[in-house]
């Protein structure tokens, strides 16, 4: 059989890059276990509970969110300042909402919230992946979202080790996020992804970067195989540790609205901006772990 990936990408050769530039905005610095204490209301200096407010400054004292804590919900068609704060928190945590936080809750916002709920449910069992914002979801977000002006996540994130071996990248399929670590295991960036559809699921396992294709090569391959720039401006070809091709790549996309979904032929798609960040940060030989989710037993030191 010809040696090709499930995207039809043939074996390629390019000058191996030794670039190891990391993104400038750190995401967090402490991978944590998934077992954490349950949410507790905020307290003031007198020891009284904060009622329907939240501990995180980006959400505190918002009337719309207070209504949700009181039993309401935010769903498709909801608008308001509370929605805008939710959207910005999703963007900052790598559950990207295409465009900016506009305060209008639609299908893309619901998708981001559902992916967040998948993550949060590993720490808060009362959170369900519905795409609807309820009190349980807000309480989880109150603890997991970074403070205003910050990005990333410090709790409920994967270990940068696969069966004791350090990795630069962890792909969590179920919540559609890619975690980029530096060589010391510090989390540098969280990026939204799209993974394989049910019929062409992304293979899980311990892999390594074999080849890096720059913009010219990536666009040429996309044009030749699919008639357009479907791979975006960069491709990172992956293999198994023994050097045999895994049949998958990390690459960009011509359809960013499908990020956050199971839609690819098996490769892991990212926004075109984010694949450039990965390309610049990774070198040939760096290891990548692709797992089903946060509790995969291989994610251990």
Tell me, yes or no, whether 286 and 256 share the same domain. yes
CATH of the domain at 250: 2.40.440.10
Sole residue written with tokens 């074999």:
210
Instruction: Write out the E strands in the chain.
Output: 161-162, 165-166, 169-172, 177-181, 187-192, 195-196, 205-213, 235-239, 245-251, 262-264, 268-269, 287-291
Sole residue written with tokens 């990548």:
288
**Is residue 15 assigned to a domain?**
no
The pLDDT value given to residue 6:
60
> Total structural domains in the chain?
2
Tell me, yes or no, whether 185 and 279 share the same domain. yes
**Is residue 267 assigned to a domain?**
yes
Check residue 235 and report its DSSP letter: E
CATH of the domain at 84: 1.10.101.10
Tell me the two tokens of residue 3.
């040696």
Q: Are 100 and 14 in contact (CB under 8 A)?
A: no
The pLDDT value given to residue 17:
40
* Full DSSP string of 85-127: HHHHHHHHTT---SS---SB--HHHHHHHHHHHHHHHTT-TT-
The pLDDT value given to residue 169:
98
Instruction: Write out the E strands in 215-300.
Output: 235-239, 245-251, 262-264, 268-269, 287-291
Tell me the two tokens of residue 159.
């270990």
Tell me the two tokens of residue 296.
């995969």
* Residuewise pLDDT in 10s, the chain (301 residues): 334 456 555 544 443 343 333 333 444 443 433 333 333 444 433 343 444 679 999 999 999 999 999 999 999 999 999 999 999 999 999 998 878 899 999 999 999 999 999 999 999 999 999 999 999 999 999 999 999 999 999 999 999 999 999 999 999 999 999 999 999 999 999 999 999 999 999 999 999 999 999 999 999 999 999 999 999 999 999 999 999 999 899 999 999 999 999 999 999 999 999 999 999 999 999 999 999 999 999 999 9
Show which of 94, 111, 144 is a domain's final residue: 144
State the residue range of the domain holding 98: 63-144
The pLDDT value given to residue 8:
56
Show which of 144, 177, 201 is a domain's final residue: 144
Show which of 115, 144, 173 is a domain's final residue: 144
Tell me, yes or no, whether 169 and 282 share the same domain. yes
Tell me, yes or no, whether 130 and 246 share the same domain. no
Tell me, yes or no, whether 190 and 240 share the same domain. yes
Check residue 43 and report its DSSP letter: B
The pLDDT value given to residue 7:
58
Tell me, yes or no, whether 204 and 249 share the same domain. yes
The pLDDT value given to residue 118:
98
Tell me, yes or no, whether 123 and 201 share the same domain. no
**290: which residues sit within 8 A by CB, 6+ positions away?**
171, 173, 202, 203, 204, 205, 207, 248, 268
């Amino acid at each position: 059989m010809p040696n090709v990936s499930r995207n039809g990408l043939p074996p390629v050769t390019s000058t191996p890059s030794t670039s190891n530039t990391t993104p400038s905005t750190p995401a967090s610095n402490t991978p944590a276990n998934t077992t954490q204490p349950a949410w507790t209301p905020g307290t003031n200096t007198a020891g009284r509970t904060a009622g329907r407010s939240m501990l995180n400054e980006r959400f505190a004292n918002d009337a719309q969110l207070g209504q949700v804590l009181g039993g309401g919900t935010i769903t498709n068609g909801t608008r308001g300042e509370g929605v805008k704060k939710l959207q910005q928190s999703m963007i900052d945590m790598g559950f990207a909402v295409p465009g900016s936080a506009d305060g209008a809750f639609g299908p893309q916002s619901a998708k981001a919230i559902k992916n967040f709920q998948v993550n949060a449910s590993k720490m808060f069992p009362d959170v369900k992946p519905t795409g609807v914002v309820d009190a349980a979801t807000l309480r989880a977000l109150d603890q997991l979202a970074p403070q205003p002006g910050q990005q990333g996540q410090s709790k409920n994130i994967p270990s940068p080790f696969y069966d004791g071996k350090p990795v630069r990248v962890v792909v969590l399929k179920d919540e559609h996020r890619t975690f980029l670590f530096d060589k010391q295991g510090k989390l540098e960036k969280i990026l939204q992804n799209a993974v394989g559809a049910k019929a062409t699921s992304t293979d899980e396992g311990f892999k390594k970067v074999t080849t890096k294709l720059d913009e010219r090569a990536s666009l040429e391959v996309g044009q030749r195989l699919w008639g357009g720039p479907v791979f975006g401006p960069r491709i990172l070809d992956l293999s198994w540790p023994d050097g045999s091709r895994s049949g998958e790549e990390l690459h960009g996309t011509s359809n960013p609205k499908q990020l956050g979904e199971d839609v690819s032929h098996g490769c892991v798609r990212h926004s075109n901006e984010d694949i450039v960040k990965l390309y610049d940060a990774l070198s040939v030989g760096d290891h990548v772990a692709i797992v089903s989710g946060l509790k995969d037993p291989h994610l251990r030191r």
